[in-house]
Structure 1
Amino acid sequence: MTTFLAAAAGESNPVLNMSVFALFVAITLLIVYRVGHRKRSTSDYYAASGSFTGAQNGVALSGDFLSAASFLGIAGAIAIYGYDGFLYSIGFLVAWLVDLLLIAELLRNTGRFTMGDVLSFRMRQRPVRAAAATSTLIISFFYMLAQMAGAGGLVALLLNVHGKAGQAIVIAVVGLVMVLYVLVGGMKGTTWVQMIKASILILSVVLMTVFLLGKFGFNFSSLLSTAADRSPLGDQLLQPGGQYGATNTSKLDFISLSVALILGAAALPHILMRFYTVPNAREARRSVVWATSSMFVFYLSTLVIGFGAAALVGPERILAAPGGENSAAPLLALEIGGTVLLGIVSAVAFATILAVVAGLTITASASFAHDVYANVIKHGDTDPAKEIKVARITAVVVGAVSIAGGILAAGQNVAFLVALAFAVAASANLSTLLYSLFWKRFNTAGTLWGIYSGLISSIVLVACSPVVSGAPDAIFPNLDFAWFPLKNPGLVSIPISFLCGFLGAILSRNRASRRKHAEMEVRSLTGIGR
């Protein structure tokens, strides 16, 4: 084991890896500056003035969505748990049907820059916008934890860094570069980074898949057989139950995970904000179709990469490497393509992390500046230049907080951490979005009850779950206050949000405005008046 790790560290070329990554950063920063430095208005900074086509935005959407969880976490989960690991891919992909059928077009027609625009359209502005901003900031933080943890694990493998201090420095550097993207380019620059990153990422995984299948004579059955032979699970690697089938609790955890993955994508603020970067509802629908097609190719490739890592690298070596499960894809790249392929894959993984965190940062900063500062504090009477300045300051603060959180979360499987973000998003946002768009009796009280009940219940359940304490792989393994048995809270917190939103609307004495609902219905279906 030690020999392998030493070989991996010795064969990898840190200078090459960092050079490829630095080249990517330099090129994308130049592009970001060129396309984003002339922004004049809040529309430019937040939504790129709706200037992207459906195809462009679809590729950018896939870039926003295909995070470190997809590239590092899912490959590792498949390599270790086999069939059960692939369930992440299925959940992430199916989730886009909810976006396509229920959210994309209506959201694009109703709002301007943020989710708060939609939720507050026919409600009392100040409390609803404050709640929407709170939800956006918390969800963005959870999602950033996964990206930062992935960055730390990846560099730990490349540079053979085992100490927390070394990973902390790397996470800090990633956070600083991410903030720079947002400050320089705004939404337009960030979108171009997403498009470049998504194209490179999908091309890389497809090439890895072809190289890998070539080693097995393009016989996928032979690859699966070899993976099963090398895995401690044996043939169970190819069947359900490797991770979630042992106990009734683990089965419930799987159901909770599935619900969170499928419903969460339609409520992620940084995904929802992308629908404002296209000029009309038709392009918003095309965005989802393009994103789904791109991700179908990607997730199909991760199936081969995950089982390939189990076959050629082996689960024991993956778990023993710095970064644990998240090291499966880089170790496989080293195995099949040597130092050069490892450098390329590592640079792509870094680019993935940077681009996704940049998208999260601009969403969080836009929500605070537009919803809280401009509409809650200034009552809608603010100077656009001042609002953009507040957004930039918020981006720096968000970056600092995400760096601190990423250092604490280092070592966790990034796909699992993203699943937690999905659960919080679905709990806090989905019920209120659907009620606002489709239920004419829904009112301000229902909105606040739905958002805050979902946020509070999901966060409390996560805090009191084996994710945080009471387990060897918990964030605080030496403590134990885990009274909630499930690792993902979605099965409980999502219904709580829907129920509380319903009860809040029914029990409140304040009746919803029929005129505002009629206006919202016409606008959401036709785009007239936007």
Structure 2
Amino acid sequence: MTKETQTLIMFGIIVLITLGITFWASRRNKTTTEFYAAGRQISGVQNGIAVAGDYMSAASFLGIAGLIAFNGYDGFMYSVGWLVAYLTVLLLIAEPLRNTGKFTMADVLALRLRKKSVRTVAAISTLVVTLMYMLAQMIGAGSIVNLLIPAIDFTWAIVGVGVLMIIYVIFGGMLATTWVQIIKAVLLMGGAILLSIIVMAQFNFSFTQFFDAIFNVTGKYCADGSTLAAGATACANGAAPIVKHYTQPGLLYHGTYGSLDLISLGLALILGTAGLPHILMRFYTVPSAKAARTSVVWATILIGAFYIMTTFLGFGAATLLGKAHIGVQKGSEFVLNNNLAAPLLAEKVGGTIFLAFIAAVAFATILAVVAGLTIAGASAFAHDIWLNVVKSGREDEREQVVVAKVTAGVIGVLSIILAIALKNQNVAFLVGLAFAIAASANVPAIVLTLFWRRFNTTGMIAGMLVGLISSVVLIIISPSIMGAAAPFKLTNPGIVSIPLGFAAAIIGSLVTRDEADAETFSETNVRANVGLGAEV
């Protein structure tokens, strides 16, 4: 049986299971509460596993393993940032969010700041973050399918994932999405544990041998921040490249702005999780604030264990494969692709069957995450803009669900088009940018709404728009888009755009006074802390 056949069978099993779940869930998906929040019947443990499944995306499994394999210590900083981020969610966001919201992030803001403009701006921010995050998943899907089944073009692979994603959300809603995420989390943890064990077996289960092998892997870079051209032995200015071991910082973040770029990335990752719409939405599926806290604890345990294992995946690929062998053959040319580090490592240590299994797990990962993202984007438009802005809160549940399903289709098509256009980007890098936008636009508004009496509508709109626009503009004029000629020298805008978002929100609130917004703080504060009046 060929590799392609094995892979198709594995992929087919995953698709059939998830479509079966969608069919089952479609009969329990009539009201808005059922469509957006699975009827609030998901237990804390179940939701914790689903949150982990939603959070451990293609960026985690494919992107981080590739970044570590190519850049060592600097790549591992992604794992550290994403794990620490859940402390912010646990300590600041989970319980108040569950108590004050209904379906979306905008519900939290609108409870305190009761104006239509609040929902409009919050919904726009949600849609931008959702699309950026979704691009990474779609590109990861294209890389995986194209590697294992070359007959399926990269573009068609992305289209296929997009179509499946639309089916899950339109017919299954949040209930189907939740169970797809739970199954995916179990498969991903199982695959990562098995692959980690097999990697360590290559080193006789000796951490000393493993890290000795890592220390012998080196990388080269130029002091001015440029990289060596293919086949070059010297930097562009004629200087010899600097050699660093993979356990040392500086392979990815080096040169004049390297340290600032790493700090910027850390800020974006640590704060960004608290502003991700598809993660925040998961806390509305549980019946109580206590269950929301339980969700975060379980999610943190699973996510922490997984990110520890990325050490074995990334460094295992660096030592057992080597950077020069991580990629795909395109005719007579071998093209490097760091998104393929984990699947190729699986093939190296476990053969084609294990490769097919790991690839199927990655595929399930992508399906689960894009479904969560799509329902978050659809709810932002249907619930926040259509129902509360266009219809002024005059609820017609059937109409709102229909609008949400149509929106899901539109988001799916748009994400397919954008993913094809940006197909050469690293998935973890793209998700890092989504985190920066979320941290800059959403986090200031959420935190200040919950904890500052003086915060008002002007401050919220100013903070969210400044954070959103500044982060997007800085990404556009960064080296990620414009190369060496970029006027903004950092690849991640967080260190600039996050303070700008907070500053604009604070200044906007101080220069204007809205007594109505101040009066609702006490009500919001009581509900956030004790749950009085929370949706049940």
1:43 to 15, 33, 47: 33
Q: Does 1:315 align with 2:315?
A: no
1:527 to 504, 528, 531: 531
2: CA distance, partners of 1:295 / 1:88: 13
Identity across aligned pairs (percent)? 49
Aligned to 2:216, the other structure's residue is in SS state helix
The answer to whether the 8 A contact 1:157-1:322 is kept is no
Q: Does 1:433 align with 2:446?
A: yes
Q: Does 1:147 align with 2:137?
A: yes
Aligned to 2:424, the other structure's residue is in SS state coil
Alignment deviations for residues 188-230 of structure 1 (CA, whole Å, 9 cap, x no partner): 1100000000010011000100111111100122123324435
The answer to whether the 8 A contact 2:458-2:512 is kept is yes
When residues 12 and 86 of structure 1 are mapped into structure 2, their CA distance, relative to the original with a 3 A threshold, is: farther
When residues 518 and 509 of structure 1 are mapped into structure 2, their CA distance, relative to the original with a 3 A threshold, is: closer
Equivalent residue number for residue 260 of structure 1: 268
2: CA distance, partners of 1:232 / 1:454: 36
2: CA distance, partners of 1:60 / 1:267: 18
Alignment deviations for residues 49-89 of structure 1 (CA, whole Å, 9 cap, x no partner): 21111110000000000000000000011111111111100
Which AA in structure 2 matches 1:373?
A: W
Which AA in structure 2 matches 1:72?
A: L
2: CA distance, partners of 1:342 / 1:323: 18
2:188 to 201, 210, 223: 201
Which AA in structure 2 matches 1:213?
A: M
2: CA distance, partners of 1:497 / 1:241: 29
The answer to whether the 8 A contact 1:136-1:367 is kept is yes
Equivalent residue number for residue 360 of structure 1: 373
2: CA distance, partners of 1:133 / 1:18: 38
2:250 to 222, 241, 245: 241
Once the 2 structures are TM-superposed, how far is the Cα of residue 515 of structure 1 from its aligned partner? 3.4
Which AA in structure 2 matches 1:238?
A: T
Equivalent residue number for residue 134 of structure 1: 124
Equivalent residue number for residue 490 of structure 1: 494
**Deviates further, 365-374 or 220-229:** 220-229
1: CA distance, partners of 2:2 / 2:143: 15
1: CA distance, partners of 2:513 / 2:383: 29
Alignment deviations for residues 277-322 of structure 1 (CA, whole Å, 9 cap, x no partner): 0011111011000000001111111101111101111111115665
Alignment deviations for residues 402-448 of structure 1 (CA, whole Å, 9 cap, x no partner): 00111112121111110000000000100000110001111110110
1:449 to 462, 483, 493: 462
Once the 2 structures are TM-superposed, how far is the Cα of residue 36 of structure 1 from its aligned partner? 3.5
Which AA in structure 2 matches 1:490?
A: G
2: CA distance, partners of 1:80 / 1:98: 29
1: CA distance, partners of 2:37 / 2:478: 37
Which AA in structure 2 matches 1:525?
A: N
Alignment deviations for residues 240-295 of structure 1 (CA, whole Å, 9 cap, x no partner): 22211x32311111010000000000110000000000011111011000000001
2: CA distance, partners of 1:186 / 1:322: 39
Q: Does 1:462 align with 2:459?
A: no
Q: Does 1:210 align with 2:197?
A: yes
Q: Does 1:500 align with 2:493?
A: no
The answer to whether the 8 A contact 2:455-2:518 is kept is no
2: CA distance, partners of 1:115 / 1:27: 31
The answer to whether the 8 A contact 2:455-2:517 is kept is no
1: CA distance, partners of 2:406 / 2:68: 40
The answer to whether the 8 A contact 2:138-2:158 is kept is yes
Alignment deviations for residues 134-163 of structure 1 (CA, whole Å, 9 cap, x no partner): 0000000100111111111222221347xx
Which AA in structure 1 matches 2:275?
A: A
Once the 2 structures are TM-superposed, how far is the Cα of residue 497 of structure 1 from its aligned partner? 0.4
2: CA distance, partners of 1:432 / 1:81: 35
- State the superposition RMSD in angstroms: 1.5
1: CA distance, partners of 2:26 / 2:52: 21
Gaps of 5+ in 1: 1-10, 472-479
Q: Please, what TM-score do these two structures have when normalized by structure 2?
A: 0.92
Equivalent residue number for residue 3 of structure 1: none
Equivalent residue number for residue 50 of structure 2: 60
Aligned to 1:468, the other structure's residue is in SS state helix
The answer to whether the 8 A contact 2:268-2:432 is kept is yes
Equivalent residue number for residue 515 of structure 1: 519
Which AA in structure 2 matches 1:393?
A: V
Once the 2 structures are TM-superposed, how far is the Cα of residue 122 of structure 1 from its aligned partner? 2.0
The answer to whether the 8 A contact 2:54-2:181 is kept is yes
Which AA in structure 1 matches 2:489?
A: P
Alignment deviations for residues 440-470 of structure 1 (CA, whole Å, 9 cap, x no partner): 1111101100111100000000011111122
The answer to whether the 8 A contact 1:228-1:235 is kept is no
The answer to whether the 8 A contact 1:125-1:375 is kept is no
1: CA distance, partners of 2:154 / 2:211: 34
**Aligned residue-pair number:** 507
Aligned to 2:514, the other structure's residue is in SS state coil
Equivalent residue number for residue 170 of structure 2: 183
Aligned to 2:326, the other structure's residue is in SS state helix
Once the 2 structures are TM-superposed, how far is the Cα of residue 323 of structure 1 from its aligned partner? 6.4
Q: Does 1:100 align with 2:113?
A: no
Equivalent residue number for residue 300 of structure 2: 292
2: CA distance, partners of 1:155 / 1:468: 26
1: CA distance, partners of 2:298 / 2:508: 38
2: CA distance, partners of 1:396 / 1:323: 33
Once the 2 structures are TM-superposed, how far is the Cα of residue 359 of structure 1 from its aligned partner? 0.2
**1:70-81 → structure 2 map (5 Å cutoff):** 70-81=60-71
1: CA distance, partners of 2:164 / 2:502: 38
1: CA distance, partners of 2:530 / 2:434: 32
1: CA distance, partners of 2:444 / 2:56: 24
Which AA in structure 1 matches 2:522?
A: A
Q: Please, what TM-score do these two structures have when normalized by structure 1?
A: 0.93
Equivalent residue number for residue 408 of structure 2: 395
Aligned to 1:121, the other structure's residue is in SS state helix
1: CA distance, partners of 2:246 / 2:446: 39
Equivalent residue number for residue 383 of structure 1: 396
Which AA in structure 1 matches 2:195?
A: M
Equivalent residue number for residue 4 of structure 1: none
Equivalent residue number for residue 220 of structure 1: 207
The answer to whether the 8 A contact 2:449-2:455 is kept is yes
1:343 to 356, 367, 370: 356
2: CA distance, partners of 1:402 / 1:84: 29
Gaps of 5+ in 2: 221-242, 329-333
2: CA distance, partners of 1:135 / 1:366: 13
The answer to whether the 8 A contact 1:12-1:334 is kept is no
2: CA distance, partners of 1:513 / 1:489: 31
Equivalent residue number for residue 6 of structure 1: none
1: CA distance, partners of 2:439 / 2:371: 22
2: CA distance, partners of 1:330 / 1:433: 38
The answer to whether the 8 A contact 1:231-1:310 is kept is no
1: CA distance, partners of 2:21 / 2:513: 53
